[in-house]
Amino acid sequence: MSDLPIRRLTVTAVCRPTPRTVRVTFALPPGGFALAGPDQQVELHFPRPGQDLVGRYHAVPAARRPWVRPFTLRAHDAELHTVDVDFVLPAASGEGLGEGGAVGPAAAWAARARPGQVLAMSGPSPESARPFPLDGGRPLLLACDESALPALGTLVEALPADARAHAWIEVAGPEEHQPLLGFGDLTAHWVHRGDAPHGTRLLAAVRSAVLPPDPGPAWLAGEAATVRALRRHLVEDRGLPRSAVRSTGYWRTRLTQDDAPTPEDLADARELRHRSQPG
């Protein structure tokens, strides 16, 4: 996605939907911005200390380029020409949500975000979009942690009026609940992590759930190891076809997004490539 044109974004508003969520509204530059559907990812470029490199990503040596992080656009207002992006802040215990237990560049930037600040964005790319079927007639299965709540929110908002879905969402506690509004019939199961290791209670909740008969496709997103375990459970224990399970690992517990992929990451990538090939 980094080969796409880079847009200059200006912060127009910052709010806190929950104690650990920062929602930043950005003004878009004029012209040519459109979304192909829900769950659309972009890349945000976060300058390193002392840098002011908005729009000049490719002119900088690779070792000194800004940090690039993928995010799902939470909302797009075509009339006001703005987009919303949600950032999850780490807990006081040091939970880093994808930055190896430390506060990463995205969370650090979001914690200080103010109107008037500028950031760079590339994407979204129609080529990288992976549409999830929302209108197949059978109840959908959705499971994620708070890192994927923005994507889940866009899927729920796009549900047709006659669609049914069950969602399991792991968050730190009840203070992190967010409204999930749409025209479809959604049953939301909020799972509170508390002091448990990340993902364990989400996995336990899905394993113990009574699923609807003849479920439709499943959408899984969040911490990579948890997503892999959820996918194995739905395929091996619940009998869902592997092709019916859409899974994305957003972050890794002890690694940053700049670290090399693990063997499990590479296996996931091979599986996704195999599933995307025709026939």
Q: Please report, for the chain, the start and end positions of each structural domain, with discontinuous segments joined by +.
A: 6-127, 131-276
Residue 35: predicted pLDDT: 87
What single letter denotes the amino acid at residue 88?
V
Q: What is the CATH number of domain 131-276?
A: 3.40.50.80
Distance in angstroms (rounded) separating the CA atoms of residues 84 and 277: 33
β partners of residue 165 = 140, 186
CB 254 within 8 Å of CB 101: yes
Assign domain 6-127 to its CATH architecture: Beta Barrel (2.40)
Cβ atoms < 10 Å from Cβ of 212: 15
Residue 278: predicted pLDDT: 39
pLDDT tens track of the chain, all 279 residues? 556 778 999 999 999 999 999 999 999 998 878 888 899 999 999 988 777 655 555 666 666 778 899 999 999 999 999 999 999 998 754 454 555 555 789 999 999 999 999 999 998 877 666 789 998 889 999 999 999 999 999 999 999 999 999 999 999 999 999 999 999 999 999 999 999 999 999 999 999 999 999 999 999 999 999 999 999 999 999 999 999 999 999 886 754 555 455 566 555 655 655 544 433
Distance in angstroms (rounded) separating the CA atoms of residues 272 and 32: 30
